[in-house]
Amino acid sequence: MVQNGTKRSTGARSRRGFLRTVGGVTVGALAATPATAQSGGGTTHTISMLTEGGSYYFDPIGLHVEPGDTVEWVNESGQHSATSYTSDNPRYDGDRRIPSGAESWNSGVFEESGATFSYTFEETGTYDYYCIPHRTLGMVGRIVCGSPGGPAAENEFPESDSPQGTMPSSETIVEEGSLEWPYVPTTDHGGPPLLFWGGVGALGATSAYLFTVYDRASGRYSTPDLPGNE
C-alpha cells in the first residue's frame, strides 16, 4: 500500500538518514520513488521548519488549503519533523487532532537542511501537527482543509504545547488564508496584547526595567514591586 506522504532529500547523506530512521526494504523502495504525492492537480503550499534565535517553529503556523492541495514542509534549519497529532505517532498519546477519516502522517526527523516532506489533504476539517523533538517547546502548526471541523476544531489545543504567540483558531485561518509565525491576535486597540510586547521586550529587558523604575523627580531608581518602596 502506498501511503500519502512523500519524503524527499537533497543528497545521499540524508537518504541514508531516512533509511536508518524508518528502516526496511519496503520503505527503501518507497523512498526511491520521486515525490508524486500530489493528486488531482491541487495547489502545493510550502511550510518552513526553522530553528532560529532559540525558537523552533513552523512558518506559516496556520494555513488554509483546499481538498486535493498538497503541503510541502521544507527543513530550513535545525532538526525537525512534521507529525500529525495522532496516537500512532512518536511522543504523543493524547487525543487525535485530525479529522476522523484522514490519514495520519509523520515525516520522521529531518537531519539536514533542504529535506522535504509532502502530504496531500483530502478530508475536510482541521489538522493539528507537531515537531517530534520540539512539540513541548511549542513547535506546532494547524492546517484547515476546506472548512473547520473534527476534534481539533472542537477541543482546546493542549496547553503544554502552546506556541509562542498563540495557536490561531480554525476560523481565523480560513479568513486569513495563511498566518505567519508567531501568530498574535490583535486586540480592540489594534495592537498585540501587552503580554506579547513583554516577550518581545525581553531582549531589552534591562534598559526597559530601568526606564520604568527611574523616578524623574528624585533622580533615583526605585523598586516599585517591593512593599515599602513608593
Residue nearest to Cu ion (CB): 131
3-state secondary structure of 114: coil
Shortest spacing between CB 149 and Cu ion, in angstroms: 27
Kindly tell me which of 55 and 124 has the beta carbon lying closer to Cu ion.
55
Interface residue with Cu ion among 64, 96, 97, 134 (CB under 5 A) is 134
61 touching Cu ion, by CB under 5 A: no
- Residue located via cell numbers 538518514: 17
80 touching Cu ion, by CB under 5 A: yes
Shortest spacing between CB 134 and Cu ion, in angstroms: 3
56 touching Cu ion, by CB under 5 A: yes
Say if residue 139 carries a ligand binding annotation.
Answer: yes
Kindly tell me which of 82 and 145 has the beta carbon lying closer to Cu ion.
82
Interface residue with Cu ion among 71, 109, 131, 153 (CB under 5 A) is 131
Q: Could you write out the DSSP letters of every residue in 144-197?
A: EESS--SHHHHSPPPGGGPPSB-PPPHHHHHHHSEEPSSB----TTSS--HHHH
184 touching Cu ion, by CB under 5 A: no
Angle separating helix axes 12-22 and 25-32, nearest 10 degrees: 150
139 touching Cu ion, by CB under 5 A: yes
64 touching Cu ion, by CB under 5 A: no
Residue 59 vs residues 74, 86, 103, 142: alpha-carbon distances, Å: 10, 21, 23, 11
* Residue type at position 139: M
Q: Which stretch binds Cu ion (CB under 5 A): 32-40, 54-62, 67-75, 211-219?
A: 54-62
Shortest spacing between CB 167 and Cu ion, in angstroms: 16
Residue 126 in contact with residue 32, Cβ under 8 Å? Answer: no
Instruction: Give alpha helix (H) positions in the chain.
Output: 12-22, 25-32, 151-154, 170-176, 194-200, 205-213
Of the candidates 33, 49, 65, the residue with the CA atom closest to the CA atom of residue 146: 65
Kindly tell me which of 64 and 134 has the beta carbon lying closer to Cu ion.
134
Shortest spacing between CB 192 and Cu ion, in angstroms: 24
Interface ranges with Cu ion (CB under 5 A)? 56, 80, 131, 134, 139
**Residues contributing to the annotated binding site for Cu cation:** 131, 134, 139
